[in-house]
Amino acid sequence: MTPSDRLRTLILTRLYAHTASYYNSWQNALSQHPLFDAVVGDLHRMSPSTLARDINTFDAVVLLHSCTADTLEDLPQLAPILADRKSCRLLAFVGNEFNSPYAPMAAKIAALTACRPDVLATQLLLEAGLFLYDGVASRIVSLPHGLDEKQFKPGPEDSQRRTDLGFRGFRYSPLIGDQERNRLVESVEARAGSLGLITDIDWRQRLNSERWAAFLQQCRGTVGSEAGSWYLDRDDALVTRIYDAVTLERKGIVLFDDHPLRSTIRRLPGPAKKLIGSLLRLGFVKYAVYEDETLDFQKLESEFFNGAARAPVYSKCISSRNFEAAGTKTCQILTAGRYNDIFLPDQHYIAVNADRSDLDRALSRFNEPNERARIAGCAYTLVMEQHTFAKRAVQLHGLIAPA
């Protein structure tokens, strides 16, 4: 392959000082792959005039997940330029595919429709992607995350790892109607000690990719679930109704997500964000997202979710965390699910029922060194053979390269 054969690609993303690992992984995979001659553009700093001047010098444009994950403050002003492109093809990923009052699904769908993508890539199963995004793009595909095998490598041998079960992450908001991961992690932490298992669980940290890889490499196992929510719709009707109700009950000074300060805070380094977060959790001025953490889920469940219809399709998906744990040969205890029909229960992870009635059985299995090594080894082999980001880059190239 000569340089002229490579697909000249503009990767549009939101560059943060501290980001989820899969944002960087997709960007790195395309930037480093020999099929692509890639240029990275920061959506937040990209002016319409600059994009209009340059867009038709590219063969393809890729909108990464960060462009729609947590905010839509930049994409709408660039959408007319993207829609008016001439020969280059546009593939758009979607970030955080669940209903949220802070980045509503309806607004994401509208913004992406305005861009006129040739291909829309969902993390969800295809049936859910078709349900959500019908009419948004000429083609809808399921393209989940993968393994960054250069970053997430196997750690020390099982006997040399210092922690049995580790977890880092924020609690899922009660507003999404799904507490499966929260409840499983809490139950594991409560029960593990009786089996002599050492846990290291912290809900107040989200690590960057380097620290997350190092953490997993020191854990024999980790705990989790699929990403997403069973309550998924195109118009955010349910989450809007709930949010309006809880907002009426809030007292004092509360900063909402559309406050101008929020955009600035998003771009701060991790330690600065953590400090501000601590102050907002304890101070006189409060932040709506942190206030959501204190909501009584059982009350919301009784008043709203129990009477609501679930999505007509399977609306959860495999998480980047699942691939990353597999890459470090860290055995996973997960809520049973489909995991995009990639991970199979009790072959690639130790499955626990959603009601956690079989948790003791799962923990006992995990406590057998040979069994957890078998599970971790099967998951590692699978992702290395079929689900690395290098292989995902080839898939993506096939979707947007000229015929």
Question: Which residue's entry shows tokens 């969902």?
Answer: 122
Distance CA 317, CA 324 (A): 15
Structure tokens belonging to residue 373: 């090594």
Q: Assign domain 3-146+388-400 to a CATH class.
A: alpha beta
Strand 331-335 with 316-317, pairing: unpaired
Distance CA 65, CA 92 (A): 8
Query: What does the pLDDT profile of the chain (403 residues) look like in tens digits?
Result: 555 679 999 999 998 765 556 778 999 999 999 999 999 999 989 999 999 999 999 999 999 999 999 889 899 999 999 999 998 999 999 999 999 998 999 999 999 999 999 999 999 999 999 999 999 999 999 999 999 999 999 999 999 999 999 999 988 889 999 899 999 999 999 999 999 999 999 998 878 889 999 999 999 999 999 999 999 999 999 999 999 998 887 776 666 655 555 555 555 566 666 665 665 556 656 666 667 778 899 999 999 999 999 999 999 999 999 999 999 999 999 999 999 999 999 999 999 999 999 999 999 999 999 999 999 999 999 999 999 999 999 999 999 998 7
CB 161 within 8 A of CB 369: no
Structure tokens belonging to residue 355: 């009601």
Q: Where in the chain is the domain with CATH 3.40.50.2000?
A: 3-146+388-400, 158-230+316-386
CB 125 within 8 A of CB 314: yes
What is this structure's pTM? Answer: 0.90
Give the residue from 333, 143, 88 showing the smallest Cα distance to 219.
Answer: 333
Architecture of domain 158-230+316-386: 3-Layer(aba) Sandwich (3.40)
CB 137 within 8 A of CB 119: yes
Structure tokens belonging to residue 245: 């109700």
